Structure 1
Amino acid sequence: MKKVYYGLLSLLCAGLVSCAKDEAQSSLKGRIDVRVNTDQSLSDDVSRAAGEVTEPDLKDFALTIASADGEVSNSWDSFEKFEPVFVEVGTYTVTASYGEAESEGFDALSYLGSTNVEVRKDETAEATVTCTINKAKVSVAYTDDFKKYFSSYSAYVSSSKGNKVTYTADETRGAYFVPGDLSLFLELTRQGISQKITLNPKNFTAEVKHEYRLTMDVDASTASLNIIFNDNPASEENVSINISDEALNAAPPVFTPYGFKSGTPLEVLEGETVSDKLEAYLNAPAGLSKCELTTVSEALKAQGWPEKVDLMKLTEEQSQKLTELGLSTRGLGANHDKIALIDFRNVLSHLYCVADGNDTHVFTLKATDALTKVSDDLVLNVTTRNNGFAITLPESVPYGVNTMTVSLNLEGDPSQVTFWYMFMNVWQEFTAEQVDIQPGAEANKYAVTLTYPMPLNYTDTNVKFKAEHRNKRFEGEVRVDDPELTLSLKNGDADVWATKAYLQVTASAKSRASRTISSSTVEIQYKEGEDWKAWPHQSYDAETGLFLLTGLGEGASETEGVPYTLRAVYKRGGEAVSLSEELSITTEPKAQVGNAGFEEWHTASHSFNVSADIFGNPHYRDWYLPWNENEADIWWAVNSKKTMLSECTAANLDFKVFPTVSWSSSNKANGEKSIQVATVATGAWAVPTGGAVTAHAGEIWIGTANDNGDHASEGHSFVSRPTSLSFWYQYSPVKSETFYMKIELKAEDGAVLASNEIAKGASETAGKTITLPFEYSVNKKVSSIYMVFKSSTADSPEYNTKVEMEIAGKNQTSHIGSVLRIDDIKLNYE
């Protein structure tokens, strides 16, 4: 059946037409007039005649006219308000609609139609729009045999949109559904059956402009439920189901939730998860046939999560997406049986709020067994509490700085936020070292200082910035100021030493002509309390263009430097005419090496794998280590194991074997001890002629030793740049031997920044202090320090036949060569 509605053009008089032409004048415009046809027919798979459909009223049709680019130029919520319209020459799409296209139910009838028209100058284009029903219609009927078999009954149809339309026992109307997958459910009660049962006997895909009739029939002789599809008893789409008392009494599928209660909202912070289980356990005694998951979540939908899916018949794409978004299942694959598990715990981290407030995500599980019995719905209702993620950017950043502070609002862990900057049209992520997050005065508010790898010195384009937290993103831009004066560190922290700092002062491009940087025009000031004062020791190098501040770091400790707040002031005639932004620096600490006075020692006992002494006792020797027992931060290593692992026979007990490194309490500069590095001879001693003997030079170094007493590593972490090294020493060589000493300061990349050495240290019996200066090759931060002392530089050190000397505070006899004593190592900062 068709019905035609005409626009009001036919009612316009000739005078109105004439006036309209006058208005159009010579502009490139034409008119559009519209008439609407409604086609109310429905078809099904057997091309059955159309059912009766209520005719909509003209006033309930809406109308839109859109240009070729999709922009709506005219619209009317009621067709009776339409009048022909003048539009620019071109192609237009005219669309008429009735009802809500996405609604489903008995009163959800809707129509849609559109057509294209070509508008020419000074002509009227007539658009004829035929509107057809844009949904599928479904009706349910029951035979007398069906009504006799069950004491009560009803049906409902569930759609892929997640809607549920109920058909009561006396319902004769058809309901309208958006085209897609539909499932028929029957809720039945039979006399003698303990409880109402739910069956899911029919599933089908509904097409637009089709009508589907499902007739419920019962064959009592075979205890079968027969569903006649579209009034065609011979159709292959009809179904027959066992409804014997035994089958009806069989237990339906049952879901058991763990970690939640069905239908009760579970609140979690956006992007977070729960520590306990969040699982649905499914038991289907008759065997599983279907397990449907219906999801209502705008966040998951945006990420590709299907709104409705059978977990037992997933496509490869669906399975991959659900797994990617955290869903885990067991027992629902090809080898499914009677039990299954659906785990939602890891899904929670993918939930986010699409708007400013909290958001709700609903997961509904429904299972069907082999007898088409249906479980009660299990509903996981999750409310994500909005974490308030928001970024506030500064209006601008000073010219030439390499830091920017933004405000972050977030309930949750701010370290989970990633920050990005644009470089060469590519987004680059700030590293952890470039992000400093400090809590603000209010809860969930943070000040985030970002350190760029380059100065922000471009004013022609804005600084592009991005921040991401899980599924949320912020993008913005910040303007770079063009200040008259900028104070900065040209080489970053490497320009700040323990007692000095190199500063760069630049004038802006606009003020460069009137701002000549020199020691007579620019003054570096520091903040003391609320007052600004000129730094008393400053100079300017015109060749490098840098200011040098000396005399910094007063009061620094071995672990902490001294902070300063500085600024540059441009002066004219003694008066300040412009100021730079403030610059905060912290000097390097005046660090020292560990156990520099060698007062800390402990003794370890070593057992030799050799024959016992004449009394049958195993041989033990003590060796001495320059750090406290159980020390967490060990600086020094010794090569004493070179002598401690030598042989010692019972026949030569007077020739002891001693460590190459020990302490001396009688030969020192200050304190109670110094370190004693001695050459020791070891080997198999034969009486009286002697045997093979090896002499080892004593050695101590910063690093670690292996089991053979050799270097396993060299160096210890260090952060400061001293100007020189001082230490006290005493050296008693055998014959004309010399000692060796070296120190190195290295950068993080391994480059040696400064070093010094004593290649051939001469005899010094009284003891004296020596100072070795450092010259730094490049301006980099120090990362490690290495130092080594050796008692002899000879390839085959000499030794005395028998010497009595102090070994760790005791006078003992051994074969000792050259002896070097070291004390009071000090790194100087000037």
Structure 2
Amino acid sequence: MNKSVIEYMKWIGCLCLLVLCMVLGGCQSDEETALSGKTGLLITLTDEEHHAYSRTAPSELENPVTEKFQLKVVYSGTDKSAYKGSCKEFILLEEGTYDLTATYGDNPVLALDAPYYAGTLEGQEVIKGQMTSASIPCFVANSLLSVIYNKTSLDKLYESYYVTVSVGSESVDLDADSGKSAYFRAGSSVKLVFHGFLSGTGKEVTYDVPDQEQFSNIPVKTHVKVTLGLDESNITSGVGISIEKLETETVSISETIPVECLPKPKLESDDFVNNELSFAETEKKSAVIRLKLSSGLQDLKLKFNSADAKFAGLEQGKEYLLSNAEDKSAVGTALGITLPEIGATEDSLDFTSLIPKLMTDKGTTVASTIEVDVEANNRWASEDASANRIYTLICNKPELYLVTNPGNFWSKEFSVDSCDIKTGDVETISQKLQYQYRKKGDEQWINCDRLIQFDDYPADKQYQVRAVYREGIETEPVDVELETPQQLPNSGMEEWSTVKGETFTISDSWFKKATYYKFYPYAEGESDKWWDTNNLRSQDGNIILGMGHPVCFAPCVSYTEDVKHGGNRAALIYTSGHGGGYTSTGEELYTAGAIAGNLFIGTYSWTDKTETVNRGHAFSVRPTAVKFWYNYHPKNQDAFKVYVELKNGEEVIATGTYIPDPISSETGWQEGQVEVQYGEHPKAATSICVQFLSTDKTSFSDSDFDKNKSMTFPVMGDWRVHIGSMLYIDDISLIFDK
């Protein structure tokens, strides 16, 4: 057989498997229930190996198969007919014994692709009140012959050729491309005549195929396959062909069902839902339409309609044919796909590579339709009006979302964390993604990187930022509000208030009085207080016998008008050797009560020798550094400490500490700066604390102090104190470099 005949046989086998499945599921319980109590036969047709290939008149098989199966039922051993007609799934009969004969076709003397099937079942008993199952084994009841042409050989001499097969006065022609076989009654003898048309002249020559005796009395269900080629050695003697191969084989019903009786070709896909495939622009997604064929592909029609400009090379509404070389090339080139080959028995239309190329119309969904029709076994899929032949590709706008953290919106810069690509191909979109920003209310967008920085603090604080893949495909704009730089109240240490304390007699004179004052780092009557001190602790001293001591009640934090950097005042913070509820005298210093002077943002309380420090004040701007001026007078060798802390609620979001190298002598006025460090994922600030400590020491000895040293305080006048290192602070400023 030639290749097309072989492929045809393969697909006949596939049909057989399909029909077997249909038969096995053919008997339904509801059908049997309806026949309960009746008398007759349930009929099944099988092949000779008793594999059911067809229930009688199964709905799944198409014409002409269902029309041509005939059934004859006679009373056993007689010619008396009980039933004659088309096969049915069941027939009602009287109780008795019957002989059954099933036939398909007309058993012609000779015809193309005209199989004849027959089967008998004798002595089948029918029992009253029962539907008895009867299986009729069927077989090919005629014979067939196929011619296979060695084209490589024959094409050397002939431009075309065919063989005439004759039985008596009947004849049929088998050409090189038909793929058909000659069917004839079993036991017949056939004659083969070769017709060839010479290359160049077109002259017809004929030869009897040699060894005709091999084609005599061909048995039932026998398939004779004759391979013909050019016999070059005998051309001069007038015999130009030879039998290169002769095969005979027994065939089954499944191998001989006519191609026209096979199911129509169909189209199926697991990727399309209700014949639609939705995807995002750039997305990679499988889009395969399988061709369900019972025999080799004969042709394919395809229409591709799309509003996408890149497919302008394909005419809208035009039907392109696979069998037309120009059409096939145009479709393959425009869509970038590989089309099936004619003759293929298993193939598909794979649009997977096309999906990432489809685009929306500036973000508006675009639908492209694929209309397909397939021809195989001389039938088009479109014969079934309900066949799935139109498929729609729906290209949607990719879903992009800008990811920002308000903690990255500073005073003179803001940044975008990333763009979250929910749909579409992440790699493709990321490579072409462009960030943009604008002043809120402006129409013009400005291209930028993920970090937007300004040279100075912009007057406009409201902005918007977005990410753009291409025109019409962008994220929703995200509003950005920059922080407005602010300075701390009383950053010049100019504002102070005092409250008069107790007046008492100094111990070395019964007539000399002294009055101490409480110093506060804010203006008198201030309702929103920012700064505080630990003076309450340094001014907590006992009085013996009603007599005070000059080292008691001196504030460790106050102001001075004599040592200042700018303005009229500066803060004085010193390490105190008195306070804490201890009784200090000019000679007595209790180091257990010694403390570092503490000026800080927050509130302070001292009750029952217990201090409570609440650091911080509401503040929504985040500095990158705190600058200040200091003048340090160390006792021996010492170092002061500056600490900065910002919080979001109760969470510390940034800190900074400044401790200079140990200092041995007065510094004069120097500039200091605390760098404020924020975490990897900064948050907005809700409070700030800046703290100045006269020393970074936390425990003390007598050598850390000058005892009974004379000092002059504003308002209080001269006073004696146990004093350690002295820190003057002035002109504090917040730096905003971001």
What TM-score comes out, normalization by structure 1 length? 0.36
Q: 1 or 2 for the larger relative contact order (CA 8 Å, sep ≥6)?
A: 2
